[in-house]
Amino acid sequence: MNVQLADAASYTVLATNSSGIVSNTAALTVVVPPGNQTNKVGSNITFTVSAASPQALSYRWQFKGVDIAGATGTSFTTNNVLLGSAGTYSVIVSNTAVAATYSVTLVVTAAPPVIVTPPAGATVTAGQPVTFSVAASGTGPFSYQWLKNNVNIPGGTGSSFNLLRTRAADAGSYTVSVMNSAGNALSAAAVLNVSAPPQPLAVPPPAAAPGRFLFSFIPVVGLTNTVLTNGSPGLAGWGVLTNVPPPATAGTITVSDAVASPGRFYRVMVMP
């Protein structure tokens, strides 16, 4: 017999023989238990039990065998489930005559990563730093892999990637793959353009006193201009004469060099 909720009622059986009639009444309670569910982290879930009985019914929901406070209706809802929300949920359906327990399983799966804020492109002057960063939603923890021109960057495994001093060779397309146990997401490309740094400009210095050299130049604005000096124009032997802090505006700077030498050579090195 395929019992339905509508079949719930009190049933009486009569037994007769030549000596008389005997009757007995029993209550039929029909329950449709809740079903198992699989949901992602962050979902809202509801378990529902359907029951009918000629007697008043009461309900008590449990999670892993422990009563859930306030959960005494025909349904139980929990919002924004976490991985820790997974497990066995039970509902105890009872009346004055009997109590029955029905258990179901909730499986909670990780939500795959979704790129919320992709890395932004940048244009910098060679020597300047640049930082790419990404933000993602989903179920942590995440792992990261940064790529340049679709090739993994060794050590580029954080939520941000830094180039402390850019070079022309650093120009290219940067992306990041964000991964967790449920999958991965690849960001849109951030293009890095690296321009050649501006160059300081030497200008004729004013007349110098005997035994002293003067060197004049127009510095690069916003960068440290280091003046180097040497007794010859070769590659070796250059020493620092002075460091000029990053100027805010362009203008001629003259430095003095007191040295007993018939001639001197000067160059300016620009640093961020």
Q: Give phi and psi for 228, each to the nearest 5.
A: -110, 150
Q: Which CATH class is domain 201-271?
A: mainly beta
Record: fold of 114-195: Immunoglobulin-like (2.60.40)
Q: Which CATH number applies to 5-109?
A: 2.60.40.10
pLDDT at 1: 60
CATH 2.60.40.10 positions along the chain are 5-109, 114-195
What digits encode the pLDDT tens for the residues 169-185?
999 999 999 999 999 99
Q: pTM for the complete prediction? A: 0.62
What digits encode the pLDDT tens for the residues 96-151?
888 999 999 999 999 999 999 999 999 998 888 999 999 999 999 999 999 999 99
